[in-house]
Structure 1
Amino acid sequence: MKAKRYHPFLMLFDAWKLAKNTFFLFLFLFVIKAGSHSIFIRYGRYLLLVGVGMAFIHIIIKWCTHKYVLDERSFHLYKGIFNKTERTIPYSKIQNVNRHTSLFHRIFHVTSISFETGITSDDAAVTFEVVSQSEAERMEGIVHQNEKDMPLSEGVEGKNDHNRVIHFQPTKRDIIKASFTSLSPLALIPLILTFYSNVDEVFNLKGKTEGVFSYIISSWWIVISVFVFLILVSVVFGMTRTFLKYGKYEISSDEDRIYINKGVLDKTAFSIAKEKVQAIQIEQSIIKRLFGLAEVKLTSAGSLSLGEETLEINSLYPFLPVQRAYEIISEILPAYEITHKMKRLPKKSLWIRYFTPSWIWIIATAALIYWKPALLGIEKAWWMLSAALLLLVIAARWLDFLHTKYILNNRFIQLQSGILATSLFLSKRDKVIEVKVSRNIFQKWLGLASIETINRAKPVQHNGIKDVPVEFAEVFYKWYMGRMREIEVEK
């Protein structure tokens, strides 16, 4: 089977990345310092030009020497001129598929696609940074069909979308709620400060804007007007930012796979075989809890990165109403069963939390005793600060006790923990690769133990709770041993 070169636009894409990475160096050396006769500036220009030239040569050589082949069972990747290497990745190792279409890709009607494996190494993914839409569909179709043990030839086209069921698409109301829940309007403030700082370093704006600032604060109505204007701009910015990120969000599935698509300008797509889902996490921040929202994340053994970008696409829509989140899990993953009624920790677990030393409070109190800082004119305020910190520690431990829950439901385990934010972990027994039960001296006195589960992910996912009854820890260990009757070797 003849090896194919990568898409020729890959050279243009690499050149575009090179231009972005060197833009500010060119701006500084050839524009801002255009009249400088410094030897460092002069040689800096030479080094930059030589470096860029060598990078361009490397881009061309890379395209000429890197090739690939897809046969019925594996990817075959080739590179090198004199020292040639070949890398083979079986389709059976693919955990999930990530596709990202940036503005560059949309202009040239191409896309990028990454096939993630569960291998922990720099070569864990098969990544095509530039590929035609039809070629990406063909590749993904071959990988998906291979999961069904159906050999395909080079002529296979993409997958059929007719069997997909759409489970969720955000409405305008969902977008508005998401923009405020995600605090997107506040993102404008650091952007303005960063932009001002960068421009000030070049054009020294600080001295030029002092008069404008003095004029603004000299009148109360101007201050109020500016404040209202900034709020409106922040709200519009937050809603626009949220729309561009989640405006075309879609969760869908077919018989075998889950598909998540998002993005208006930069489009990202994620797909994973249902059988490859290692666990589910339902997370609620304090703001999401107030609005009755939750984020559902799928844990997989493959990483979620594509080139230089890290994708967050493993999340089912991050601002789902709680009840809808549970419904979607049942729809797309009927093999997973969520138990709404869970067990709480015994009261003695709260006491062991209270009497466990808090090193944060101890160190902070020692520092306060040493420096004895004054607060609001009160010279001996250090003990008040220490007492306030102790109350915060006690409150945090009480909330941790309140939110910690657990249950074993036949083949499933559910663990919930958190203080202000909460996280519910759900996994099947055959997806748990290791468990751990431990007891310290205080837990032995009170008949308690700590349990932990380990699931395949990147990085490996650890979940556990402390101070469960020792009887439950024993049941938990026996429950895991029953895994041997269910375990199947993953393809």
Structure 2
Amino acid sequence: MMSEQRYKLHWITAVIETLKAVKEAIFPLIVLIFANGWRKGGTGLWYVDYLSYIIFGVLIIFLLVSGIIKWIRFEYWFEDDELRIESGLFVKKKRYIPFDRIQSLDYTEGIFHRPFQLVKVKVETAGSSSLKKAEGELTAITKEAANRIEYEMQAAKKRKKEAVNGVNELETKEIMDAMPVEEVIDEVIPSKKIFSMTNKDLLLLATTSGGIGVILSGVAIFLSQFGDILPYEWMFEEISAFIKFGILIVGIVVFLALLFVWLLSVGMTYLSHYGFTVSLEKEDIVITRGLLEKKRVTVPLKRVQSVSVNENPLRQLFGYANVVLHSAGGGVGDSSKINLFPLVKKNRLKEPLQEIFPELNLEEPNYKLTSRGRHFYYRIDFVWMLPVIGALSYFFFPYGLFSLAIIPIIIGMGLWQHRSAAIGLDGQQLTMRYRGIGLHTAYMMKKRIQSMEMRQSYFHKRKGVATIVTNVKSGIGVHHATVQHMEVEEAERLYDWYGGNKKAVDRQADKNVGERLED
């Protein structure tokens, strides 16, 4: 079955690819812009004095030409139930993606897409990796072209399914080709809205997010990149002169700067999560979000390995939580860790989550830790805490004695972690609740758990306690759920449930044989 037509991307692709290349080369471009401004004097030769500007212009032209070539030389088509992509000028790259291997088609509408009614399509397969690009990416195509890809994929999968069931493949193809694209898609993928965020939820999410940390870390990276060329001496003189205005003025300026960064992070979070909606389309979860850049991410249900409900202390105080999915087989959309509900009231969490995962038991875990392992939650911290307190007290006496306040803080944190830990077993499901600073509740089905470890130190054995660590796939890595310092009998019960303790299983088998013989 040969392709009837080869398709090109929209011309705006050249602009997008150029801007993407400029973004990746932003650091050297900034250096070139400011290099002449920091030079003192001149050589009298214009091409030497303005060398950095000349290099900058040549580089921009090169990036523009590169973007145009990428657009001209890129084409895709459908052949033998595959999406085929060809690109490259001097080195031609060909990629053939079977439709039955495609897990999801993720759509993004950026500020350059919307005026032309375009979308960017990312093709995710089971072999996609969160550390690599998507299996295939179409930078800018019309929505009708995106629907065509969806149609070809659904039609190919249906033909394969019908062929497996013994239906004539040619007859199935003729029926599918005779149906309109919209009818095929609607027939195969019915959609049901499950969850959406209100403006109130969006504002609360934005104001309690950690976006300010991302901005400050970006500034730190920028400064580290230009540490050798920034005029620190001049900056130090200016700051010293500014400090002379007084502590109050400096404090006000620092406060306003931090307020500006915080407001910037609030705005970025609000815009990126605007219109956040979760829908269920047959065997897929579909997440749409964004105002300036609208994204549509598809998460196949069969790739979800665990569901985690996370509560940081601030949000927990107001009764809010965050629900995260860990997905196997590589990155889905932005990451293998998917924010299913970025912010949701804890008492309204059960209904939408149960609708997506009806097999999950979302009740609180019923087994809480006893006092046997309580002191392990804070005792180990004294290993590093006492030397630090001793050094501070000695070298900064008497003010160093204030470091003694660390002791009740550490003990209080340990008691809080011990009180929060819990375990729940319900048939084939394991629920683990544990706390670092935030509270985490992980719901895992036995068939999804990759491995389980029971750890015991020498001191654990003396007190009869152990730590259980469960591992589930998350992208190409592993997500760990850990409950520490529980009673060893409970740890062995969990280990036996998972099938790790062969001796216990053998003992139970021998007991069953003996009971049958007695009968």
TM-score by length of 1: 0.77
1:435 is aligned to 2:459? no
What are the equivalent positions in structure 2 for 1:74-473 lying under 5 Å apart?
74-80=82-88, 84-119=92-127, 120=129, 122=132, 125-143=135-153, 149=161, 156=181, 159-160=185-186, 163-182=190-209, 241=268, 243-301=270-328, 303-304=330-331, 310=334, 314-356=338-380, 358-365=382-389, 367-368=391-392, 372-374=394-396, 379-385=397-403, 387-458=404-475, 459-473=477-491
Give the 3-state SS of the residue equivalent to 1:248 in structure 2: coil
CA contact (8 A) 1:339 1:409 kept: no
Take 2:290 and 2:95, find their aligned partners in 1: how far apart are those partners? 33
CA contact (8 A) 1:117 1:301 kept: no
* Cα shift readout 1:210-259 (whole Å, capped 9, x = no counterpart): 9999999999xxx99x9999999899867755542333121221332211
| Percent of aligned pairs with the same amino acid | 20
Of 478, 484, 498, the match for 1:480: 498
Take 1:396 and 1:366, find their aligned partners in 2: how far apart are those partners? 21
Q: Flag structure 2 segments of 5+ consecutive residues without an equivalent.
A: 163-171, 501-519
Please report the RMSD computed on the Cα atoms of aligned residues, expressed in angstroms: 4.4
1:51 is aligned to 2:59? yes
* Cα shift readout 1:7-50 (whole Å, capped 9, x = no counterpart): 43322211223445456456436889899658875333343333
Give the 3-state SS of the residue equivalent to 1:271 in structure 2: strand
CA contact (8 A) 2:454 2:495 kept: yes
More deviation, 462-471/424-433 = 462-471
The verdict on how the C-alpha distance between 1:218 and 1:25 changes in structure 2, with shifts beyond 3 A counting, is closer
TM-score by length of 2: 0.74
Amino acid paired to 1:252: S
Partner in structure 1 of residue 503 of structure 2: none
Amino acid paired to 2:398: K
CA contact (8 A) 2:109 2:295 kept: yes
The verdict on how the C-alpha distance between 1:436 and 1:139 changes in structure 2, with shifts beyond 3 A counting, is farther
Take 1:207 and 1:439, find their aligned partners in 2: how far apart are those partners? 57
More deviation, 352-361/315-324 = 352-361
Q: Flag structure 1 segments of 5+ consecutive residues without an equivalent.
A: 483-491
The verdict on how the C-alpha distance between 1:391 and 1:41 changes in structure 2, with shifts beyond 3 A counting, is farther
Take 2:38 and 2:111, find their aligned partners in 1: how far apart are those partners? 29
More deviation, 53-62/462-471 = 53-62
* Cα shift readout 1:254-295 (whole Å, capped 9, x = no counterpart): 332211111122111112122222111111111110110001
Take 1:30 and 1:107, find their aligned partners in 2: how far apart are those partners? 38
More deviation, 27-36/451-460 = 27-36
CA contact (8 A) 1:186 1:234 kept: no
CA contact (8 A) 1:163 1:254 kept: yes
The verdict on how the C-alpha distance between 1:76 and 1:234 changes in structure 2, with shifts beyond 3 A counting, is closer
Rg: which structure is higher?
A: 2
- Number of paired residues? 467
Amino acid paired to 1:181: T
The verdict on how the C-alpha distance between 1:146 and 1:453 changes in structure 2, with shifts beyond 3 A counting, is farther
Take 1:251 and 1:70, find their aligned partners in 2: how far apart are those partners? 30
